Structure 1
């Protein structure tokens, strides 16, 4: 089947595409991420923080802003993500407060991550094959009375009006439904309720909050690029089960050279939810 010309992840490495999405996520949702860090029930400001599955540093830099005297250990399995994070920290002049550690968090043994007062895991726990093992590691890692913040997404963000595109209205919702079926099979902990798992691991669940995001795009280049990258990733997980007409319509939206592509739309809004669980290690 011939699809429209698409500049997508298949033309770059998947790691590069993921890094770009993470950077756009940090840019577009900066205010909401900062709001989450302000909400954290930390008591006294933490001195040592670990960012688990740090990606390119969205949480790392938000936490550095929120806690200006803290030092952060940023752990991730991707060398490319860690390099981006180091480059950013040097550019921002905070590299003396950041330590990066390569870590596969599914391994039975973790590298030395110190004894932090706060552990932050944003959109990383659901990727773990053995989350119960990871939760025990975090419990042992934390200083007594330390806080563990788990931030998880309600799937991919939505951007299009319900009646878009004109030739295939409701396309985005059908893509999300197909993607949910894919993730239910391949990423079973995506969308999980982490509260019971945290208490089973010995934590005292202190608070929970759901943050609703609704950002008007109004022609924002960053939101357009965020929508493009997100829809490209949705396509990867939905393409095998979507009807051919939906795939063709999706590819027209992803055509970066087309005047009808998502980059040219002025009716985009970012709509999503993030849920935060704050759990404390018992003394």
Structure 2
């Protein structure tokens, strides 16, 4: 891929951890409401955060469930270092511990949890059906599993942005979907096959103000990564438009536009391991 735009250096500085942090900060209200939804169903003493990333979810759970011990599981030692840092900043270091584990190798050897939280992580597991079965078998009856997924890349722009050809973001998202980016199944059948009882499915439409500093940075990061990942498939006109949007300065830059929204849909499944013999 031949990237020559002047924003390239900036975009390549954005690590996966930075993107996760931006996503979590922008969607903090959604995350808080989701944890309240969980609190109506569980009063956990042991919580396992599967694919914990940078630990934002871990800390929101620790804040909402002050009596709980939390185990943050991730295969990246760098991510787990971020978890420990943020837990220390919030004063949760005595209740949060980390475990480095590759979920493709199976459910790790941790004590049975009352709540397992898998936010934007299950679709990364190579064989989710095997993983879910192992997870189910490791849990004690009554334990709750919460799976959260986004349905597609987040959207930020109106169809007509005043430059380039209308519908840029829709075209980019179609290409991303064809490549399997953020595609995930409806996990209901998979959860039930593993033995879980799906108690509820919560689909939330996200529509937030995109004209904050954090939201602008988030939009620029996501669109920049779309530009990097789809550069060979987008037209020259679309690539030029993305370069202008992701530039540090300029009338068309995301840093100065006033028409940004953060839009998308997220789905959460609450699934419980029933007592043996309960249908």
What TM-score comes out, normalization by structure 1 length?
Answer: 0.91
Partner residue of 2:144 out of 108, 129, 147: 147
**Distance (Å, rounded) in 1 between the aligned partners of 2:10 and 2:190:** 34
Secondary structure of the residue aligned to 1:82 is helix
Q: Does 1:209 align with 2:202?
A: yes
**Greater shift in the superposed pair: 256-265 or 115-124:** 256-265
Matches within 5 A, 1:112-151: 112-151=109-148
Partner residue of 2:79 out of 81, 87, 104: 81
1:41 shift after superposition:
6.2
Q: Which residue of 2 aligns with 1:4?
A: 5
1:150 shift after superposition:
0.5
CA contact under 8 A between 2:164 and 2:238: conserved in structure 1? no
**Distance (Å, rounded) in 2 between the aligned partners of 1:10 and 1:167:** 21
Distance verdict in 2 for CA 1:165–1:86, change over 3 Å: farther
Runs of 4+ off more than 6 Å = none
Q: In the TM superposition, what whole-angstrom CA distance separates every residue of 1:118-165 from its partner, at most 9, and x where no partner exists? A: 001011011111101110122123221100001010111100111124
1:255 shift after superposition:
1.4
1:258 shift after superposition:
3.3
CA contact under 8 A between 1:7 and 1:254: conserved in structure 2? no
Secondary structure of the residue aligned to 2:180 is helix
Secondary structure of the residue aligned to 1:198 is helix
Distance verdict in 2 for CA 1:149–1:8, change over 3 Å: farther
CA contact under 8 A between 2:59 and 2:86: conserved in structure 1? no
1:250 shift after superposition:
1.0
Matches within 5 A, 1:17-96: 17-40=15-38, 43-96=41-94
Secondary structure of the residue aligned to 2:252 is coil
1:3 shift after superposition:
4.2
Q: In the TM superposition, what whole-angstrom CA distance separates every residue of 1:169-211 from its partner, at most 9, and x where no partner exists? A: 2111111111111117xx7xx2310000000011111110101
CA contact under 8 A between 1:118 and 1:142: conserved in structure 2? no
Distance verdict in 2 for CA 1:29–1:98, change over 3 Å: same
Distance verdict in 2 for CA 1:266–1:176, change over 3 Å: same
CA contact under 8 A between 2:42 and 2:115: conserved in structure 1? no
**Distance (Å, rounded) in 2 between the aligned partners of 1:124 and 1:43:** 21
1:215 shift after superposition:
0.5
Structure 2 unaligned blocks of 5 or more: none
